[in-house]
Structure 1
Amino acid sequence: MDIVDSQEPDVQVIPDEVYDKYTPRRKAVMVALLSYCAFLPSISSTSTLSATPEIAAEFHTTGPIINVSSALYILMMGLSPMVWGPLSQVFGRRIITLVTASVFLICSIATALAPEIVSFFVLRLLTALAGMALILAGSAVISDIYCPVQRGMATGWLLSGMLVGPAFGPFLSGVIVTFVSWRIIFWVQTGLAGTALIGVYFILPETIHHRKLDDLHGYSRKEKALSIMRMINPWRVLKLWRYPNVVFTGLASAAILWNMYGLLAPIRYVLNPRYGLETPLQSGLFYLAPGLGYLIGTLFGGRFADYTVKRYIKKRGVRVPEDRLRSAVPFMLVIAVCILIYGWTVEKAVGGIPLTVIVMFIQGVAQLFCFPSLNAYCLDVMPGRSGEVIAANFTMRYLFATISTAVVLPAIEAIGVGWFSTITFFLLLATTAGVVLTIHFGQRMREKIDVKETEKAKEADHV
Structure 2
Amino acid sequence: MRRANTASVLARRPSGAPTMNSFRSVGMSEKEIYGDTPTELIQLERLRTMETVASLYSDIRRNEGEMSAPNDAQELVDIDPELVTWDGPEDPENPRNWARSKKWRATIGIAMYSFLGPFSSSIVSPAVPKICVAFGVTNTTVAALMVSVFVLAWAFTPLVVAPLSEMFGRRVVLHVSIFVLLVFNMACGLANDLGEMIAFRFLAGAGGAGPLAIGAGVVADIWNDDERTAAIGLFSIGPTLGPVVSPIIAGWIAMNLEWRWVFWILIIVNGVVLAFGLVILEETYAPILLKWKAIKLRKETQNPALHTVFEITNFTALEKLEIAVMRPIMLLFTNPIVFGLGLLMAFTYGFLYLLLVTFPSLWEVDYGFSVGISGLMYLGPGIGFFVGILTVTPVSQWAYHRLVVQNGGVAKPEFRLPAIAIGAVCMPVGLIWYGWSAEKQLFWIMPLIGAALFGIALISVFQCIQSYLIDMNPAYAASSTAAATTFRSLFGFGMPLFASQMYGKLGRGWGNTMLAFVALVIGTVFPVVVYFRGEKIRKWNDKRMDARKAREQAKREERITRRLESEARAQEKKLGPETPLVERREIHGIPEEEASEDGSLRRA
Q: TM-score category by the smaller chain?
A: 0.7 to 0.9
Match of 1:143 among 191, 204, 220: 220
Contact 1:97 1:200 in 2 (8 A): no
User: Larger C-alpha radius of gyration, 1 or 2?
Assistant: 2
Deviation at 1:100, TM superposition (A): 0.7
Contact 2:385 2:459 in 1 (8 A): yes
Contact 1:176 1:185 in 2 (8 A): yes
Task: Label 1:307 to 1:318 Cα distance change in 2 as closer, same or farther (>3 A).
Answer: same
Task: Label 1:179 to 1:453 Cα distance change in 2 as closer, same or farther (>3 A).
Answer: closer
1:174 aligned to 2:251? Answer: yes
1:431 aligned to 2:522? Answer: yes
Task: Label 1:37 to 1:301 Cα distance change in 2 as closer, same or farther (>3 A).
Answer: farther
Task: Label 1:144 to 1:341 Cα distance change in 2 as closer, same or farther (>3 A).
Answer: same
Deviation at 1:136, TM superposition (A): 2.5
Contact 2:158 2:212 in 1 (8 A): no
1:270 aligned to 2:362? Answer: yes
Deviation at 1:328, TM superposition (A): 1.9
1:160 aligned to 2:237? Answer: yes
Higher helix share: 1
Instruction: Name the counterpart of 2:311.
Output: 217
1:400 aligned to 2:491? Answer: yes
Which digits, 9 at most, give the CA deviation of each residue in 1:380-428, with x for residues without a partner? Answer: 3332543322211111111111121111111101111112212221222
Deviation at 1:124, TM superposition (A): 0.6
Contact 2:175 2:274 in 1 (8 A): yes
In structure 2, what is the Cα distance between the partners aligned to 1:301 and 1:147? 23
In structure 1, what is the Cα distance between the partners aligned to 2:345 and 2:461? 8
Deviation at 1:89, TM superposition (A): 4.8
Give % identity. Answer: 25
Contact 2:434 2:449 in 1 (8 A): no
Q: What TM-score results when the alignment is normalised by the length of structure 2?
A: 0.68
In structure 2, what is the Cα distance between the partners aligned to 1:449 and 1:381? 11
Instruction: Name the counterpart of 1:258.
Output: 350
Instruction: Name the counterpart of 2:509.
Output: 418
In structure 2, what is the Cα distance between the partners aligned to 1:32 and 1:456? 37
Task: Label 1:53 to 1:237 Cα distance change in 2 as closer, same or farther (>3 A).
Answer: same
Contact 1:149 1:306 in 2 (8 A): no
Instruction: Name the counterpart of 2:124.
Output: 48
Instruction: Name the counterpart of 2:406.
Output: 315
1:235 aligned to 2:326? Answer: yes
Instruction: Name the counterpart of 1:284.
Output: 375
> Unpaired segments of 5 or more residues in structure 1?
none
Deviation at 1:286, TM superposition (A): 0.9
**Equivalent position amino acid for 2:439 in 1:** E
**Matched positions, count:** 453
1:382 aligned to 2:469? Answer: no
Which digits, 9 at most, give the CA deviation of each residue in 1:1-52, with x for residues without a partner? Answer: 9999x9xx9552559x999524444333333332322221112221221111
In structure 1, what is the Cα distance between the partners aligned to 2:330 and 2:340? 14
**Equivalent position amino acid for 2:428 in 1:** A
**Equivalent position amino acid for 1:53 in 2:** P
In structure 1, what is the Cα distance between the partners aligned to 2:287 and 2:412? 24
**Equivalent position amino acid for 2:260 in 1:** R
In structure 2, what is the Cα distance between the partners aligned to 1:299 and 1:154? 15
Which digits, 9 at most, give the CA deviation of each residue in 1:223-260, with x for residues without a partner? Answer: 9454444344x222211212222122211211211221
Task: Label 1:305 to 1:94 Cα distance change in 2 as closer, same or farther (>3 A).
Answer: farther
Deviation at 1:376, TM superposition (A): 2.5
Instruction: Name the counterpart of 1:449.
Output: 541
Deviation at 1:274, TM superposition (A): 2.9
Instruction: Name the counterpart of 1:367.
Output: 458
Deviation at 1:315, TM superposition (A): 2.4
Q: Decide which moves more: 62-71 or 404-413.
A: 62-71
Contact 1:332 1:367 in 2 (8 A): no
Q: Decide which moves more: 204-213 or 426-435.
A: 204-213
Match of 2:173 among 96, 101, 104: 96
Contact 2:414 2:468 in 1 (8 A): yes
Matches within 5 A, 1:55-204: 55-62=131-138, 64=140, 65-204=142-281
Relative contact order (C-alpha < 8 Å, sep 6+): which is higher?
Answer: 1
Task: Label 1:294 to 1:407 Cα distance change in 2 as closer, same or farther (>3 A).
Answer: same
In structure 2, what is the Cα distance between the partners aligned to 1:11 and 1:332? 35
Contact 1:11 1:385 in 2 (8 A): no
Contact 2:429 2:453 in 1 (8 A): no
In structure 2, what is the Cα distance between the partners aligned to 1:289 and 1:325? 26
